[in-house]
Amino acid sequence: MKQKTELTKREKFVEWLTAFMSRNRRWLLLGAITAAVAIVVVVVVVEVRDRRLEESLRLVERAADRYDEWIAAEGDDRESIEAEIMGTLDEVIADYSRLYSAQRALFIRGRMHLEEERWEEAAADFRALSERFPDSHLALIALSNEAVAWEQGGNLERAFETYIDLAEEREARNPLRARALFSAGRLQEQLGDDDAARDHYDTLVSEYSDSEWTKLARNRILVLETGVGRN
């Protein structure tokens, strides 16, 4: 009797489901079509993105390979290779601005500007990388390179500001923070603000007791306190 009752329940459910599908077959069909279209769209988007990524990586890797040749080249050959590399990097940065290849392109272009002592152009590329890809493994290095570019170009104020930006970025997990604090203190000395320099050195000493940069900071603190060995 129990088995017969269970069978009857199944039969009733099948009848209900059949009737439901019959009454709503139009909407069910539309839903199925919509789901199918959505799947196709997703597949197409993924394929297009993959193709774009592949193409952009191919371009930036070609530029990276030519970069080594450019470093070793001289005269007209160097200028010709530079023009080719810059054209490729400009294309990647413009057409693939949010992909991984764009950050690689910005980094390579920044390094080329550094090599040619185009300090402001280098700083602009490294800043763009750090702002556009803040979580990238290259972001911290880019900020450090930006600071170097400003300093090499004689703009100590901008170099100091950039070192502060670097020191404040990802504080607890920033392998360049100690160096940035020392560099900020060093530049403050050059700018004539010994008290501010001492503050940066003290922060470095308190946070990184075993760092090689801390040893240098302690030496600078001693110089500031005694005046001995000051340039």
Q: For the chain, count helices (H), then strands (E).
A: 10, 0
Q: How far apart are CA 231 and CA 222, in angstroms?
A: 13
Q: The pTM is what?
A: 0.77
User: Alpha helix locations (H) across 73-99?
Assistant: 75-95
pLDDT tens profile 66-89: 999 999 999 999 999 999 999 999
Confidence of residue 44 (pLDDT cuts 50, 70, 90): very low
Beta strands in the chain (DSSP E): none
Average pLDDT (131-149) is 95
What fold characterizes domain 134-231? 1.25.40
Q: What would the pLDDT profile of 105-130 be if each residue is shown by its tens digit? A: 999 999 999 999 999 999 999 999 99
Domain boundaries, the chain: 27-116, 134-231
Rounded distance between C-alpha atoms, residue 43 and residue 41, angstroms: 5
Q: Which amino acid is located at 15 in the chain?
A: E
pLDDT band at 47 (very low <50, low <70, confident <90, very high): very low
pLDDT at 43: 36
- Nearest Cα neighbor of 124 from 93, 169, 87 is 93
Res 32 pLDDT > 90: no
Q: Measured in Å, how far apart are the chain's first and last C-alpha atoms? A: 105
- Supply the pLDDT for residue 36: 42
